[in-house]
A and B are shown apart, each in its own frame.
Chain A
């Protein structure tokens, strides 16, 4: 048996340490990893827990991120609880194998510390890697601070391993701003955390020699489509399990999570939709604007996948103007949050005004003052009854103002 670790009621952990403690408390059997900035400490700490007897597990050193996820797939198919961590270029090299993991319905947990993608090379946080995973078939949960990185990593095991889900799960946090900022974190005891996650239940594991199975079969045009549709349905249906796991976690800890997080949305007239650490910045700005009489609110998709088409619609259908903030350069299109939020809101009666900001690329700071400016711009849209600026704009960008497309409504 692994040694127990004595934890204080309140620990001072950064996002990386919080995530690694969750891997330890879940007693992950195998971590196959190729460490990369800024997620390195997650697997480094897991290695230390193994070496010091705090987890009965294996730390497998491999030669690339492609190999890291391949090792995870082998260990998960064999029948173990498996996790790893990556960022940025490592995530990109892992992508081919991410699709293999989800296609084989293996409940691997990947802690992703979001970082910009080269070129030009950059180690700071943006959401380029997270967005690149959006069609990979994984559940993608986003943590906005260190406490959430801890809580949601524990929840990730329980969600992915549920017999009605059996899908891999990513838990995202922002590079440096979350991963390297020490904050107060309230951990569970080792026993409470493990009991919440539960003993790993294998499914069709390869090490059961009486039930020989093939993983990774080939299917052509006569079978592939049916398998992919079934996988898509499993990811769609995971919404109910995510809700249930979040409810159980609230019962245990008092901390509440929702697939769509709403802040000041009951009577909001204008809103920002964002992911990651910018959510807390926007909430702070909304609070200040409330004092100035602007009914500002913030909506954050806790789950990037499965995307809460239903929850987003419910949260935003009564606002007048909403700005969707994308921290990934969409390169020749509108941002992903803009596209998905617009699609959801198009099916409502009132069809709020939706505009798009690209922001924070390569770790560019996103300030409270800038969030307030964006809120006030939404208020101007709302008062005018139409979008008064280009639909897509860039926040915090030096040089001449950059924007694309004008509205055809209300002019």
Chain B
């Protein structure tokens, strides 16, 4: 797993609620919040290279209420990108159509990625939040036989 692309060392550092308070005359009109510090063609700039503003949660941890988490098993994954497409929080990290892992600073533990995973056994499974990844991988189920 590439830490650089997941960028966890740059992400999840900021605490929400620690912003500097400003008065009514300085808040944005309509609570419309710009994602970036300056104009950017975001579709062609990689996530870790975009000029995020503090209104964007990219550099903040927003996953504190997760109680179960998806664990990713690289050995079974076929890089179909189903989980990447379906994740409602863009917390599946993929680069050049290859799955890299899960962004645990933003994943809320909804389990959609597990639901849509087509492999047998699944390449993503839900485990308790405190479960170590190595332990989870050791418990991975065997391939299910088709009922005849």
Contact = CB atoms under 8 A, between A and B. Distances in A.
B31 A219 contact: yes
A231 B25 CA distance: 10
B88 to A, nearest CB: 15
Contacts of B40: 210, 212
Nearest to B50: A212
A395 B69 CA distance: 66
B43 interface: yes
A211 B32 contact: no
A230 B25 CA distance: 7
Interface string B16-44: 01000111110101111111100111110
Interface string B42-59: 110000000000010000
Contacts of B32: 104-105, 204, 213-215
Contacts of B29: 105, 166, 203-204, 230, 234
Nearest to A223: B27
A215 B30 contact: yes
B24 A229 contact: yes
A213 B36 CA distance: 8
Q: Is the interface of A mostly helix, strand, loop or mixed?
A: loop
Contacts of A204: 29-30, 32, 34
A227 interface: yes
Given A229-B24, A230-B24, A213 B35 contact: yes
Contacts of A203: 29
Contacts of B35: 212-214
A349 interface: no
A76 B44 CA distance: 26
Contact of B24 (A105, A213, A214, A226): A226
Given A230-B24, A230-B25, A212 B42 contact: yes
B34 A104 contact: no
Contacts of A213: 32-35
A103 interface: yes
Nearest to A220: B17
B21 A222 contact: yes
B31 A227 contact: yes
A130 interface: no
Interface string A40-52: 0000000000000
A106 interface: yes
Contact of A226 (B27, B34, B36): B27
Contacts of A233: 24
Nearest to A228: B24
A405 interface: no
B30 A214 contact: no
Contacts of A217: 31, 33, 55
A210 B41 contact: yes
Contacts of B24: 225-227, 229-230, 233
Contact of A227 (B27, B36, B41): B27
Given A105-B29, A229-B24, A211 B34 contact: yes
Contacts of B22: 226
A103 B23 CA distance: 17
B30 A209 contact: no
B36 A103 contact: no
Contact of B30 (A105, A211, A212): A105
A210 B39 contact: yes
Contacts of B31: 103-104, 215-217, 219, 227
A216 B55 CA distance: 13
B108 to A, nearest CB: 15
Nearest to B40: A210
Nearest to A216: B31
Given A166-B29, A229-B24, A230-B27, A211 B55 contact: no
Contacts of A209: 41-43
A340 B78 CA distance: 68
A204 B36 CA distance: 13
10 contacts: A104-B30, A106-B30, A166-B29, A203-B29, A214-B55, A215-B30, A215-B31, A226-B22, A226-B24, A230-B25
Task: Kindly list the 3 A-B residue pairs having the minimum CB-CB distance in the complex, ordered from nearest.
Answer: A105-B30, A212-B35, A226-B24
